[in-house]
Amino acid sequence: MNDYEKEHGELVRRLGAECAVLLKTDGRFPLKAPGKLALYGNGARRTVKGGTGSGEVNSRYFVTIEQGLENAGFKLTTKLWMDAYDKVYADARASYIKGLKQKARKHHTLAITESMGAVMAEPEYDIPEEGAGDTAIYVLSRNSGEGSDRIAEAGDVLLTKTETRDILKLNEEYENFLLVLNTGGPVDLSPVLEVPNILILSQLGAETGNILADLVLGRSFPSGKLATTWTRWEDYPKIGTFGCRDDTDYTEGVYVGYRYFGTVGKEVLFPFGFGLSYTDFEMRAGETRLENGEVSVKAYVKNVGEKPGREVAQVYVSAPQGRIDKPFRTLAAFKKSETVMPGAGEELTLSFSFKDLASYDEALSKWVLEGGDYVVYLGTSSEDVKPAAILRLDGEAVVKNCENKLGDPGFEDWKPEERREETLPDLPVINVTASSIEPETADYAVPEDVDPLIESLTDEELCYMNIGAFDPKGGILSVIGNASMNVAGAAGETTRMLNGKGIPAIVMADGPAGLRLSRQYVRTKKGVKSLGGGSLESLKELLPKPAVLLMKLSEGKKTKGEVLEQNCTAIPIGTAIAQSFNVSLAEALGDVVGDEMERFGVQLWLAPALNIHRSILCGRNFEYFSEDPLLTGKMAAALTRGVQKHQGCGVTVKHYAANNQETDRYNSNSRVSERALREIYLKGFEIAVKEGRPHALMTSYNLINGIHTCENRELIEDLLRAEFGYEGIVMTDWIVSMMYGGKHKHARPSSVKTAAAGNDLTMPGSSADYKTLLEGLQNGLVSKKQLQVNATRVLRTAGMLAKE
Ligand code: BGC
C-alpha cells in the first residue's frame, strides 16, 4: 500500500468515529478489552461501506465489521452462523436476479434496466445461534442507491421478522448487547427499542470495521448527532406525495423533517441533532449579543461524566408567527467542542446573521423579517433545548427585494392547523429596530463576457465547447460513470477537440464517498482502458450470457500493456459526514479527496451531493447530508474548501435542485412553491456557493414546476448566478437528453435548450447532443452569443484548473 493510502486510511479511521451516533446506552459499552464475542446480523460480514451507484468508490481495501473486530483481537464465536448466512444470502440473491430477468422478459426490457439501483430486500431465515461469551453484537445493514427509492417494508425501512426475533433474543441472552446500524438512513426501530445499547455506525468507507472496533473498545468515542429525524415509519408526515411518476407534489412546503415534527408537536423516537456520548455533558447558555447584524450566543459545555467526549452546541430560533406561517424552531448555528475530559469544560461561541432568520414572502417576492419576538434556544437537539434570549424586532424589515422566478406548483402549501405553543420564562431581551436593517435588491444582470479566443471559434467549435467530450472521429463511448479518455473510470470530461488552440480539457470523476476511479487500467494510444472495477463490473450478473462473454473477451484484450493503478480512499458517506456536525472534519475529508485528485489528474470532483432528505425513502439520501438546509450548506462548503485548497482541483455541487427521489428520476416533475424552494431546497446550494465558492455545479435530472432544471434559465441565471453570486460552470447531469424515450408526460431536455438557459455543458456529450446544438444554433434556437458566454465560462474554469 502506498504511504498516502495509509495516511488517508488512518485519517478516515480517526475521523469516522466522530460520525457515529450513539442512540442508546446503559454504560456497558465501551468494553474494557477484546474477548470472546458473538457477532450476528446481515452486516457482520457483508458490511456496507457506502451505497450503490455512481457514488460507489473502488477502493483497494475495505475492512468489514468481522475483520475489524478480529483485527482488534476479538475471538468471534459465530463463524458458522456467518457462513450459514452467506448461503441464505446467496440463495436469496440468485432468486432475486432470476426475478429481475423474468420481469425484464415480461416488460420487454433488460434485467439491467429493471435493476437500476434496486436493492434486494433482506430475506427471512432461521439460523441457529451458536455464540458463546457474555457479549454479543448484532449488525443490521441496509443498502440503497441510485435509480431506486427505498421501500417502507420489512427488509428495508422496517425490520424483518427474523431480525426483530434475533435482536430481542440476543438482548435477553447476553449481558452486554449492542445493536449496530450499518445503514445509510433511518430504519424503524420501534420493535427493538428495549435494547439498551444502540449505535448508528453508518457507512464509513474503507475503515468501517476498524472504526467499530475502536468504538467498542473505547479507543475512540462516538460524538455524532442525527442529521435527519429517526422515528417510527408511520409517524413520518405524508402530506405531499413521494415517488410518483411524472409529478410529485411538495405540498408540505417548508415543513420538512424536524420543522414538521416540532411545529405540530409530534413526539419522535430520536430527534434531529440528537446523539449520546460515553460520558454526560451539561450545557448552559451564556450571553446572547447582537453586533453589526451578527447574533452570537455563548455556550458553556461541561463534561460531568467519567469518560472523554465531544458535545455539539446547537442554536435554534423560533420566529414570530405573523402573515407568514413559520416552523416552530429552525437551526441557526451549531458548533462542536474539542475533546473535553471528565470534569473539564469548554466555552463555545455560536454565531449567525440576524438576516438569515428571514422568511420568503411569495406575495411580495421579498425576504422579510416580520416584527415580533425571535426566541433563541440553546441545546443538544431540536427537542432538547432551553430558551436563552429574545431578539425583539420592532416592526417588519425587508432583507432582500427579489422577483419570483421559479414557477407555480399549482397548489397552496399546507399549513399546520394547530401549532405547538410554549410558555417562556423571563428572558433577556435584545431590541432590534427594523430601520437598522438595510434591504438589498437583487440585480438580475449577469455578466456576459466573451473571451477573445472564444470569439474566434467557428460554430462547430463553439458546439464542442458547450457539450462534454464528443469526438466526431469516434473515441469516447458515453457510458455513464466511465466517459473519460484520460483518467480511467472518470465520469467525463470537456472537449479535447480544441487542445490545439490551448483549451485544455477538464476531467471529472464521481463522488461523494471518495474519488470514484477504476483501480486498474492500461494506457493505449487511443486513451485509457479500465480493467474491471469500473461501472459495468457490478452489473455482470444481470447481463445476458453472450454479453458477459463479450465483456470477458474484451477485458482479456485490454490487459495487454502495463497495468497501472489508481487507488482512492473510500470516505464516510455524506449523511455520516453531516452527523459529525463538525465542519473541520468535512474539510479534512475534502482534503483527502483533493490530494487524490491531484495524484490522478482529476480536475473536478462530481460531489458533494446536497439534496435535502425530504423523505427517508429517497434511494440516494445516503449521499446527501441532512433534512436541514443549514447543516447541508455548511458541510458542502467545508468539503469544497478542503478539495479546492489543492491547486487545480474543484468540486461540483449537485444535483441542483429539488432532486429528492429516484423513482422516474429522468422525468419526474417536482412541484414546489417558490418559498419552499428558496427556504429549503436551494438554501444549501446558496450557502455552499457563498461560503465555499465551488468551481462547478450540476443541475439535476428532474423538472421543477414543469421545466427541466438543466433548461431552467431562471434557476440557473437568476437565482444561482445573479442572486447567489455563483461564478463557476454549470453542467447537466449525465445523458439527460438520451436516457429515456417512450411516452412521458414531460418532454426530455435537449442540448440546445440547455445551452440557451445558460447551462454551460451538456454532459458527458454525444453525437446527438452535438447535432441538436449545431442545428439549434443555425436555426436561431440559441444565440451565438449565449454559446460564447457559456464557452467563456468553461474556458476560464479550465484555465483556472489547469496545472501550471
Ligand atoms: C448521477 C450523478 C453522477 C453522474 C456521473 C448520474 O447518473 O446522477 O450524480 O455524477 O451520473 O456518473
* pLDDT for position 133: 84
Q: How far is the CA of 183 from the centre of ligand 1 (A)?
A: 22
- Using an 8 Å Cβ cutoff, are 736 and 754 in contact? yes
Q: How far is the CA of 510 from the centre of ligand 1 (A)?
A: 7
Pocket test for ligand 1, best of 507, 510, 656, 702 (most atoms within 8 A of CB): 510
Take atom 8 of ligand 1 and give the residue whose Cα is closest: 733
> What digits encode the pLDDT tens for the residues 101-151?
888 888 777 777 777 767 788 999 999 988 888 899 999 999 998 989 999
Q: Indicate the pLDDT class of residue 530, thresholds 50, 70 and 90.
A: confident
At 19, is the secondary structure helix, strand, or coil? Answer: helix
* pLDDT for position 463: 97
- Using an 8 Å Cβ cutoff, are 142 and 183 in contact? yes
Q: Name the residue type at position 82.
A: M
Question: Considering the chain, what is the average pLDDT of its residues?
Answer: 94
First to last CA, the chain: 29
Pairing verdict, β 507-510 and 492-493: antiparallel
Q: How far is the CA of 539 from the centre of ligand 1 (A)?
A: 16
* pLDDT for position 652: 98
Q: E strand or H helix at 748, and its extent? A: none
At 181, is the secondary structure helix, strand, or coil? Answer: strand
CA distance 348 to 336: 8
- Using an 8 Å Cβ cutoff, are 116 and 12 in contact? no
Q: Which three cell numbers stand for residue 400?
A: 432582500
User: Exposed/middle/buried for 134, CB within 10 Å: 0-12, 13-18, 19+?
Assistant: middle
Residue with cell 429528492: 660
Mean pLDDT of 733-747: 76
* pLDDT for position 564: 93
CA distance 173 to 387: 43
CA distance 184 to 163: 18
Take atom 2 of ligand 1 and give the residue whose Cα is closest: 733
CA distances from residue 768 to 241, 479, 737, 738 in whole angstroms, order as listed: 35, 14, 9, 8
- Using an 8 Å Cβ cutoff, are 578 and 626 in contact? yes
536 pLDDT higher than 90 = no
Mean pLDDT of 606-620: 98
- Using an 8 Å Cβ cutoff, are 578 and 635 in contact? yes
At 346, is the secondary structure helix, strand, or coil? Answer: strand
CA distance 473 to 456: 23
- Using an 8 Å Cβ cutoff, are 239 and 251 in contact? yes
CA distance 723 to 353: 18
Within 8 A by CB and 6+ apart from 69, the residues are 34, 37, 39, 76, 137, 209, 212, 213, 216
- Using an 8 Å Cβ cutoff, are 766 and 736 in contact? no
Pocket test for ligand 1, best of 506, 530, 606 (most atoms within 8 A of CB): 606
- Using an 8 Å Cβ cutoff, are 618 and 157 in contact? no
**Secondary structure, 3-state, 232-260:** CHHHCCCCCCCCCCCEEECCCCCCCCHHH
Mean pLDDT of 691-696: 98
The torsion angles phi and psi of 646, rounded to 5 degrees, stand at -85, 125
The torsion angles phi and psi of 97, rounded to 5 degrees, stand at -65, -40
Q: Name the residue type at position 490.
A: A
Question: Edge-to-edge strands of the sheet including 520-524?
Answer: 527-530, 520-524, 564-565
Mean pLDDT of 26-51: 96
Ligand 1 atom nearest the C-alpha of 700 is 8
Q: Indicate the pLDDT class of residue 477, thresholds 50, 70 and 90.
A: very low
CA dihedral 519, 522, 525, 529 (to 10 degrees): -50
Q: Which of 197, 204, 210, 225 is nearest to 30 (CA)?
A: 197
The rounded percent of the chain whose pLDDT value lies above 90 is 84
Take atom 12 of ligand 1 and give the residue whose Cα is closest: 481
Lowest mean pLDDT among 179-193, 472-486, 602-616, 632-646: 472-486
CA distance 316 to 387: 9
Rg (CA), the chain: 26
At 339, is the secondary structure helix, strand, or coil? Answer: coil
The 10 Å Cβ neighbour count of residue 751 is: 32
The 10 Å Cβ neighbour count of residue 675 is: 19
Q: How far is the CA of 699 from the centre of ligand 1 (A)?
A: 10
The rounded percent of the chain whose pLDDT value lies above 70 is 96
> What digits encode the pLDDT tens for the residues 200-213?
999 999 999 999 99
- Using an 8 Å Cβ cutoff, are 576 and 212 in contact? no
388 pLDDT higher than 90 = yes
Ligand 1 atom nearest the C-alpha of 480 is 12
Q: How far is CA 553 from the centre of its chain?
A: 37
CA distance 604 to 568: 15
Residue with cell 457559456: 790
* pLDDT for position 483: 64
Pairing verdict, β 385-393 and 372-379: antiparallel
Query: What residues flank ligand 1, with Cβ below 6 Å?
Result: 54, 480-481, 491, 510, 606, 654, 733-734
Pocket test for ligand 1, best of 52, 146, 652, 661 (most atoms within 8 A of CB): 146
Residue with cell 461523494: 512
Lowest mean pLDDT among 280-294, 481-495, 552-566: 552-566
Q: Which three cell numbers stand for residue 35?
A: 474477548
Q: Which three cell numbers stand for residue 108?
A: 420487454
CA distance 410 to 668: 16
- Using an 8 Å Cβ cutoff, are 600 and 520 in contact? no
CA distance 375 to 317: 5
Question: Edge-to-edge strands of the sheet including 372-379?
Answer: 330-336, 312-318, 372-379, 385-393, 429-432
Q: Indicate the pLDDT class of residue 478, thresholds 50, 70 and 90.
A: very low
* pLDDT for position 559: 60
Q: How far is the CA of 250 from the centre of ligand 1 (A)?
A: 24
Ligand 1 atom nearest the C-alpha of 535 is 12
> What digits encode the pLDDT tens for the residues 259-285?
999 999 999 999 999 999 999 999 999
- Using an 8 Å Cβ cutoff, are 590 and 638 in contact? yes
Q: How far is the CA of 479 from the centre of ligand 1 (A)?
A: 11
479 pLDDT higher than 50 = no
CA distance 688 to 459: 35
Ligand 1 atom nearest the C-alpha of 665 is 8
Take atom 9 of ligand 1 and give the residue whose Cα is closest: 54
636 pLDDT higher than 50 = yes
Lowest mean pLDDT among 671-680, 691-700, 714-723, 761-770: 761-770
CA distance 540 to 521: 19
Q: E strand or H helix at 362, and its extent? A: none
> What digits encode the pLDDT tens for the residues 332-372?
999 999 999 999 999 999 999 999 999 999 999 999 999 99
* pLDDT for position 424: 97
Pocket test for ligand 1, best of 113, 149, 480, 701 (most atoms within 8 A of CB): 480
The 10 Å Cβ neighbour count of residue 357 is: 22
CA distance 210 to 133: 21
CA distances from residue 231 to 190, 243, 616 in whole angstroms, order as listed: 8, 20, 10
480 pLDDT higher than 60 = no
Beta partners for 182? Answer: 141
CA distances from residue 606 to 232, 590, 594, 703 in whole angstroms, order as listed: 34, 12, 12, 20
Contacts 24+ apart (CB under 8 A), 540-549: 541/97, 542/97, 542/100, 542/101, 542/110, 542/111, 542/112, 542/115, 543/111, 543/112, 544/111
CA dihedral 286, 288, 289, 294 (to 10 degrees): 120
Q: Name the residue type at position 621.
A: N
pTM: 0.96
* pLDDT for position 741: 54
Question: Edge-to-edge strands of the sheet including 281-291?
Answer: 281-291, 294-303, 345-353
Q: How far is the CA of 314 from the centre of ligand 1 (A)?
A: 33
CA distance 770 to 776: 10
Q: How far is the CA of 509 from the centre of ligand 1 (A)?
A: 10
Ligand 1 atom nearest the C-alpha of 481 is 12
At 465, is the secondary structure helix, strand, or coil? Answer: helix
CA distances from residue 441 to 54, 394, 677 in whole angstroms, order as listed: 40, 22, 19
Q: Indicate the pLDDT class of residue 743, thresholds 50, 70 and 90.
A: confident
Q: Indicate the pLDDT class of residue 742, thresholds 50, 70 and 90.
A: low
Q: How far is the CA of 54 from the centre of ligand 1 (A)?
A: 6
Q: How far is the CA of 357 from the centre of ligand 1 (A)?
A: 34
Mean pLDDT of 328-333: 98
Q: What is the DSSP letter of 134?
A: S
CA distance 121 to 720: 39
- Using an 8 Å Cβ cutoff, are 290 and 711 in contact? no
